[in-house]
Amino acid sequence: MLSYRHSFHAGNFADVIKHIVVIEILEHLIKKDSPFDYIDTHAGAGLYNLSSDQASKLQEYTQGIGRLKVEDWPDLSTYFDVLRKYNPSGKLLHYPGSPMIALHLLRRKDRAWLFELHPADAETLVKNTYEDDRIKVMREDGYKGLLSLLPPVSRRGLVLIDPPYEIKTDYDQILNTVIKAHKKFPTGVYAIWYPVVDRKRIEKLEAKFNASGIKKIQRFELAITEDMRGLGMSAAGMVVINPPYKLMESMGLILPKLVQTLGEDVGASFKCDEWVGES
């Protein structure tokens, strides 16, 4: 299925939590001199016009990035640096997706592999990145493409898995793909985004990860309201395998503040915990 278009949701609260975690991981990776690879299995268009018909229809960014003021978030300076790059006038007109955020942090020696199946989004992604020779855009299945790249030549990297969850089998496909990928590249950092529409699905996903044999798994989740089964996305989170050693500490400070800023009611909350330890 290819009906999902992220342009309708760009800059919403789910993007905020996802991109903060991605930046935290990338900032950790660039501390070492050795190169690394960034692999994005569902890259989208890369950059979104918030005044487009699609973004304007739901205006989800007004309940997401639109609520964050740079002066209130000194600990998110890199995030706002990226936003300024694509909004030089100072007005929030464009929102960068994960590929453009990653490219802002990648060094000359690092590489990015971007997968996108949707024809229109893939074409836009190529246009947004064609001048950068560090990048390769592939119009193919990101799950299969990921496995073909592992282990990367650099032996270091971040894998972002951010599917639309259009069908229920996405949850099992993610788990199966991650297990295979981890066997080929056990030292890589894996960041898996998920929406909370039905809490039971996330609980099942957690149980399956716990039983997978993979170690060092943490979860970071932001809920803007209490769970509302079948009534829309109440929360979104990131599952991180092989997280940077300071990620838990950083997110433990950021998430409570995000709840205060983006929460819609008293049901707003956060989760910052360890699913599986090192042993």
* Residues involved in catalysis: 162
Separation between Cα atoms, residue 64 and residue 66, nearest integer Å: 5
Residue 183's identity, in one-letter code, is K
Where on the phi/psi map is residue 61: left (φ > 0), alpha (ψ -120 to 50), or beta?
Answer: alpha
DSSP element (H, E) containing 26: helix 13-29
Separation between Cα atoms, residue 80 and residue 88, nearest integer Å: 11
Buried-state track 104-140, b at ≥16 Cβ within 10 A, e below 16: bbbeeebbbbbbbbbeebbebbbebbeeeeebebbbe
Separation between Cα atoms, residue 242 and residue 134, nearest integer Å: 25
Exposure on the CB side of residue 174, measured as CA atoms within 13 A? 30
Strands (DSSP E) contained in 37-156 are 37-40, 47-49, 94-96, 111-115, 135-138
